[in-house]
Structures are given as C-alpha cells and as structure tokens.
Structure 1
Amino acid sequence: MNIAYWCILIAGVMPLLTVIVAKAGRSDYDNAAPRAWMDKLQGMRRRADYAHRNHFEAFPFFAAAVLIAEQVDANPEYLDALAVGFIAARLLYTALYLADKPTLRSLAWIAGYGCVLALFGIAAYAS
C-alpha cells in the first residue's frame, strides 16, 4: 500500500482520536443521547468535539482527491507529498484547535484544503 493510501487511513482515524479527547475522563457520558451530551461540553473538550466533526467533513474530499489522483496515474511523488502535507496540516489544525488558537487553526485548515486542491490539480494534469 502506498503512502497516500496510508494517509487515507490516518485521516479516517483522526475523528476517533479527537472524540476520545472530548470524552476522556468523563464518567457522565450518555450513550443514549451522545450528541446532546457532547453539546454540553465546554473548553478543550468542546473544541475537541468540533475538531472531531471537522475531520469527518474533510475526509471525503481528501479521500476522493487521493483516489482520483491515483486512478489517473498522477506523479506518485507529488501525490504522496500532498497526502502527507494534508495529514500534517490536519494534525497541526487539531493541536491548534485544542490549544484555542483560532487564527492559526484557520491557517492550518487552509493549508490542508490547499493540499486537497493540489491533489485534484495533479490529477487534472495527469489525465
């Protein structure tokens, strides 16, 4: 499995990691109404939940870009570099979200989004 495919797996696991941060150490978790319970979180736990949701939102666009670029035989070096760049941007995004640094977090989000757009760009160039 190539690096870009591993990055899809990592991106798919990221929501799980952030929701663990949101829920960790809380004994009052309500599995019958998890979203209502999550809506009551505050501080870092609340931001972890928001990052969790954003990871789910970002995943399909990224996965599609990697798969399309791979399908059209885009340059594998660029493909892997952009996929790793996306993961790095998302990890930074998460750290900045948890640290409550909204401006820097937005810049990291833009960097990740740019990687996805560039993945589509290399796919377009290759096809």
Structure 2
Amino acid sequence: MQGINEIIYLILAACLLPYVFAIIAKIAGGFKVADNQNPRDFLAKTTGLAARANAAQQNSFESLPLFIAAVLIAEYMVVSQIWILLFGTAYIILRILYGLCYLANLSSLRSILWFLSMLCPISLLLIVIKITS
C-alpha cells in the first residue's frame, strides 16, 4: 500500500502545479481584488513574466488528463509501481523545470522539457500495451 500513497501524491502534485503558475501570473501581473470579477480577462491582458506564467498554467492543465489517465491505467493494469513512480516523478520534475524555463523565457529548452515530460505518460501507456498484448 505504500506505493499507492506515493502515486496519489504524484497525482496531487501534478494537479496543484498549474495553480502555482496561476499565482505567479497574478502576482507578476499586479492582480487586485477588483480583477477577480473576471480573472481570465485579466490574465489574457498580461504581458512578460505574467503572460508566460499564465501560459505555463494553461499548458500544465492541458497535460493533466494524459498524465492522470496513464498513471491510473498503469495502476489498474498492475504495472510495477517502480515504473509508475519513476515516470510519474520524472513527469513532475520535468514539468517544474518546464515551467521555470517558461518563466525565464528559455523557449528552446522549454520545448525540449515539454517533449520529455510528455514521454513519461506515453511511456506508461506503452508499458500497459506491452503487458496486455
């Protein structure tokens, strides 16, 4: 049961990560209480660091379904928890680095990290396909 708790923490971390970038975007953009009337409009009008943090937030949300599905399917299909934890941890670390590159405006490195992070859930799904074939 120890492994399942770690897997739940990985999913939780992946789900919370976009909100970290949202907070950074709002702070960097000078978000005020009045902006809460339409926070998406506020974020859409930001530039620079705030806009990049918002983009990192959006992309983090976009990648969540694939990650969560891959982890849950791998767990359901009884993939070794070592593989789930390895690819899950790598995904989280790569997504953090990806976000930091987004904030620092390092577009080429950011793209490489995005690609590597997406390979993590894809690899889990390929393992599932291999063990069920």
> What TM-score results when the alignment is normalised by the length of structure 1?
0.94
RMSD of Structure 2 on Structure 1 (CA): 1.3
Q: In structure 2, do the counterparts of structure 1 residues 27 and 71 end up closer, same or farther at CA, with 3 Å as the change threshold?
A: closer
**Equivalent in the alignment of 1:95:** 100
Q: In structure 2, do the counterparts of structure 1 residues 107 and 3 end up closer, same or farther at CA, with 3 Å as the change threshold?
A: same
**Equivalent in the alignment of 1:10:** 13
The answer to whether the aligner puts 1:77 opposite 2:82 as a matched pair is yes
Higher helix proportion (structure 1 or 2): 2
Structure 1: tracts of 5 or more residues without a match = none
Matched residues, percent identical? 34
Q: Given the alignment, which residue of 15, 19, 26 partners 2:22?
A: 19
Q: Given the alignment, which residue of 61, 65, 83 partners 1:60?
A: 65
**Matched position secondary structure for 2:36:** coil
Measure the CA separation in 2 of the matches of 1:40 and 1:55.
19
Structure 2: tracts of 5 or more residues without a match = none
**Matched position secondary structure for 1:24:** helix
Assess if the C-alpha contact under 8 Å between 1:5 and 1:66 holds in 2. Answer: no
> What TM-score results when the alignment is normalised by the length of structure 2?
0.90
**Equivalent in the alignment of 2:112:** 107
Q: Given the alignment, which residue of 27, 45, 55 partners 2:50?
A: 45
- 1:116, CA displacement in angstroms? 1.0
